[in-house]
Structure 1
Amino acid sequence: MGAVTGKGLADLIREQFGVRWAAIAMLALLVANTGVTISEFMGIAMSVQVLAGNVNTPLIYIVVPLSAVVLWFLVMKGSYRRVEIIFLLMSLGFLVYVPVAFAAHPDWGQVGRQIIVPTFSSDEKYLLAAVALVGTTISPYMQFFIQSSVADKGIHAGEYFYEQLDVYSGTIFAVVVAAFVIIVTGTTLYPIHHPVETALDAAFSLKQIIGPSASLLFGVGLFGASLLAAAVLPLSTAYGICEAFGFERGVSRSFSEAPVFQSIFTGLIILGVIVTLIPGLPIIQVLVFLQGLNAAMLPVLLVFIILLVNKRRLMGRRVNGLAFNIISWVTVILITILVLLWLLTNYILPIFTG
């Protein structure tokens, strides 16, 4: 849609459905992105815990606020692009999970069977993990970020193939790495029933295979990935909301020129820091819940996207085909059912069963 129309998703929702529906879409985006922004700052805190080797390290009260200030300054002063590649390279530490998966000697036959015919359970913990996995894999903010990026680059329909290749390759890369993370943790932690309740537990799966260097690789990778997203998320949220309602936007504008944009961006960063630094907060449990919340907001935005991409006067000959429509609607229905089951088993039924 970005290549065909030259407009961002928020802009199209307002134009095609009106301000009220745009408000609903932006509320879903704000709720989802607020949760994910908080989770990224929690990721920074977790990386500090891993590198320090101490869940209760006081260093998080220094590193997390300092990271927020540095990120805000880099983005607002237009220097973020210069250090973005550094954060990206740091996050590549997670690639170590690929060779480690082979070193862990999993039952590859079982892995293959579970990929083709995954196990389903109505257990509340399983549903929570499944919903969280959906929420962290198909993030609502990415739907806005990718389209706005295409529109801002001025990519036209004739160049769509190359942009499509870029998106597909990036998606496959992310999913493959995530799959190897699951394989490693499933092979090393599940047999000994080792729960993942802290950041150190998360790094333990690597430590089982590659020893003490696991903490360094995991910590640096998590730190880089969290910093990378902690800047992009509040920025894309501010751009999306301001785009939808016609507010001035841009990091080059002063507060007096773009007060709404600056307030959303700064407010999300501050909120992320405040929540992360709450003493005694069970970070892993909160992270999983926030990703579940992300998934709960996803169907709302996907419906808008599907309706837009089926408007022939908007998309012309690039309107969605039958196969893509079937896949899209089935995806929305399955995610909705999964979210409803999660809410039912984790929150609604416990109220009535005591």
Structure 2
Amino acid sequence: MSDDHLVGGTALAESAKPRFWDILGPGLVTGASDDDPSGIATYSQAGAQFGFITGWTLIVAYPLMVAVQMISARVGRTTGEGLAGAIARCYPAWVGVAVTLPLLVANIINIGADLGAMGDAVHLLLNGSALLYVVGFGVICVLLQVFLKYKRYVVVLKWLSLALLAYIATLFVVHVPWSSFVHGLLVPTFKADPNYWSMIVAIFGTTISPYLFFWQASQEAEDLKEKPREEALIEHPREAKEANQRIAWDTLIGMAASNIVALAIIATTAATLNKAGVTNVESSVDAAKAIEPLAGQFAKVIFAAGIVGTGLLAVPVLAGSAAYAVGEAARWKVGLSHEPGEAKAFYATIGLATVVGVLLNFTPIPPMKALFWSAVINGVVAVPVMAILMMIASNHKVMEQFVIGKGLRALGWTTSIAMFAAVVGMAVTATL
């Protein structure tokens, strides 16, 4: 069966499928975690500053996201190891270090920013100490990963993904001029404005992030440990058809959910903040505050509650993906299915990343400046990571008969080129 059919979805409808909720897993969680509080801030800025005209970027980004995440998942399911493990097996140690250390730094910055936004969101709703809430959320995220059984933890993550519905709900409490929304969605706008192009680069950088590649590949490999009847495809090729179809559905739906929510955030802020001339939004919480006088208390509560829900999902994914990447590159025993005593270094990395993220909120470092540099690091790291991912997924020695086909290969390299263009765009706009 060709990848062209899988991407197009034709083959997916031809076979019996398991229950809908069972199909959803790493792809859904990965897509939902992409709309973390820092991502919400970016989409809020886009809607407030430029209205509906940036919507087209998410239509363009969708097939690119699907391709790279599907390829990442295929590597994990086929080889039984995460992306960093495959890199360590195929390339010299310095390659793994060059990839994982910047990822770790960027993830920690993101964790800090997300925890800070969650603390501010609760403060907005309940008052109290935002920093105390930050510490509380950090503790909760670590405890969930360390002490909750993997099967239950996965269920918790899947249910937390429903927090994204909060942003769909906001569309029902604000007046959206749908003709303007559809025009911005379907007709790309090009402006001779460096701020506009900086925003386009930020949207692509937020939407296609390296930690998502590592997380989905590692979770596919992790799931095999919890399902004794399933093995890596290179060991049990007969499972390939069903496994690849599940991955396709999971990824298509997960990335669609991510982009639909991003569009909902852009639409909400465009219809309220941009319309009212409020164009300077520096964080997701700023957006929630600004929405209240324009759309009411209910809209503010929904927006702020969404920040907390998506943060509880994203922070463990950020910490977990960093631990998987570092642990697999160092050849530690890794995996949330292991007891803490069996994978001490792996869980220590999760804890350390989260603790440092918490501590960043007690420093004078401006969160938005930190997020900017996180985006720069992610953008730069994404290009070589995607190139390496493509080479691994096309390598017969690694993937055996399950190398990706022409359809996924073309989309994957297109994504790599698009991200390279985004990095160049980021560099150019930064000098203007």
- TM-score between the two structures when normalised by the length of structure 2: 0.70
Q: CA deviation at 1:292?
A: 4.3
Map of 1:247 onto structure 2: 332
8 A Cα contact 2:319 2:353, kept in partner: yes
Give CA deviations for 1:35-87 in whole Å, capped at 9, x if unaligned.
322232123223223324xxxx6611211112222322332223586577567
* Amino acid across the alignment from 2:314: A
Change (3 A) 1:304 1:269: same
Question: Is 1:51 the equivalent of 2:136?
Answer: no
CA distance in 1, matches of 2:78, 2:160: 35
Give CA deviations for 1:281-312 in whole Å, capped at 9, x if unaligned.
54345445533432332112111111111113
Map of 2:409 onto structure 1: 325
Map of 1:112 onto structure 2: 182
CA distance in 2, matches of 1:93, 1:324: 30
Change (3 A) 1:200 1:254: closer
Q: CA deviation at 1:143?
A: 0.9
Which runs of no fewer than 5 residues in structure 1 stay unpaired? none
Change (3 A) 1:90 1:26: closer
Give CA deviations for 1:240-265 in whole Å, capped at 9, x if unaligned.
2111221233565557x655324422
8 A Cα contact 1:234 1:268, kept in partner: yes
Question: Is 1:134 the equivalent of 2:204?
Answer: yes
Give the number of aligned pairs: 342
CA distance in 2, matches of 1:242, 1:3: 18
Map of 2:51 onto structure 1: none
Change (3 A) 1:14 1:87: closer
* Amino acid across the alignment from 2:246: Y
Map of 1:71 onto structure 2: 141
Structure 1 vs Structure 2 CA RMSD: 2.9
Map of 1:27 onto structure 2: 101
Question: Is 1:3 the equivalent of 2:100?
Answer: no
Give CA deviations for 1:195-233 in whole Å, capped at 9, x if unaligned.
213444311465356521223222222112112221222
Map of 1:42 onto structure 2: 116
Deviates more, 1:257-266 or 1:336-345: 257-266
8 A Cα contact 2:145 2:153, kept in partner: no
Deviates more, 1:325-334 or 1:181-190: 325-334
Q: CA deviation at 1:34?
A: 2.4
Give CA deviations for 1:132-157 in whole Å, capped at 9, x if unaligned.
32232222112111111112222542
Give CA deviations for 1:170-203 in whole Å, capped at 9, x if unaligned.
1111111111111111121112221213444311
* Amino acid across the alignment from 2:408: F
CA distance in 1, matches of 2:157, 2:292: 23
8 A Cα contact 1:131 1:339, kept in partner: yes
8 A Cα contact 2:117 2:285, kept in partner: no
CA distance in 2, matches of 1:330, 1:134: 13
**What secondary structure does 1:189 align onto?**
helix
**What secondary structure does 2:148 align onto?**
coil
Which runs of no fewer than 5 residues in structure 2 stay unpaired? 1-74, 225-229, 231-238
Q: CA deviation at 1:114?
A: 2.5
CA distance in 2, matches of 1:321, 1:84: 30
CA distance in 2, matches of 1:13, 1:91: 29
- TM-score between the two structures when normalised by the length of structure 1: 0.84
* Amino acid across the alignment from 1:130: I
Question: Is 1:229 the equivalent of 2:309?
Answer: no
Question: Is 1:17 the equivalent of 2:91?
Answer: yes
Question: Is 1:297 the equivalent of 2:367?
Answer: no
Map of 1:218 onto structure 2: 303
Change (3 A) 1:263 1:120: farther
Q: CA deviation at 1:102?
A: 5.6
**What secondary structure does 1:192 align onto?**
coil
CA distance in 2, matches of 1:85, 1:278: 35
Q: CA deviation at 1:97?
A: 3.2
Q: 1:169 aligns with which of 253, 261, 264?
A: 253
Change (3 A) 1:126 1:42: farther
Map of 2:425 onto structure 1: 341
8 A Cα contact 1:91 1:225, kept in partner: yes
Deviates more, 1:296-305 or 1:146-155: 146-155
* Amino acid across the alignment from 1:45: G
Change (3 A) 1:68 1:50: same
Question: Is 1:238 the equivalent of 2:323?
Answer: yes
8 A Cα contact 2:204 2:422, kept in partner: no
CA distance in 1, matches of 2:413, 2:216: 21
8 A Cα contact 1:312 1:319, kept in partner: yes
CA distance in 1, matches of 2:83, 2:285: 39
CA distance in 2, matches of 1:317, 1:283: 46
CA distance in 1, matches of 2:159, 2:148: 20
Give CA deviations for 1:11-51 in whole Å, capped at 9, x if unaligned.
11111223222222223422332232223212322322332
CA distance in 2, matches of 1:88, 1:142: 16
Give CA deviations for 1:319-342 in whole Å, capped at 9, x if unaligned.
233333332222222221222221
Map of 1:308 onto structure 2: 392
Structure-to-structure mapping, 1:172-191, within 5 angstroms: 172-191=256-275
Question: Is 1:202 the equivalent of 2:272?
Answer: no
Deviates more, 1:232-241 or 1:203-212: 203-212
Map of 1:261 onto structure 2: 346
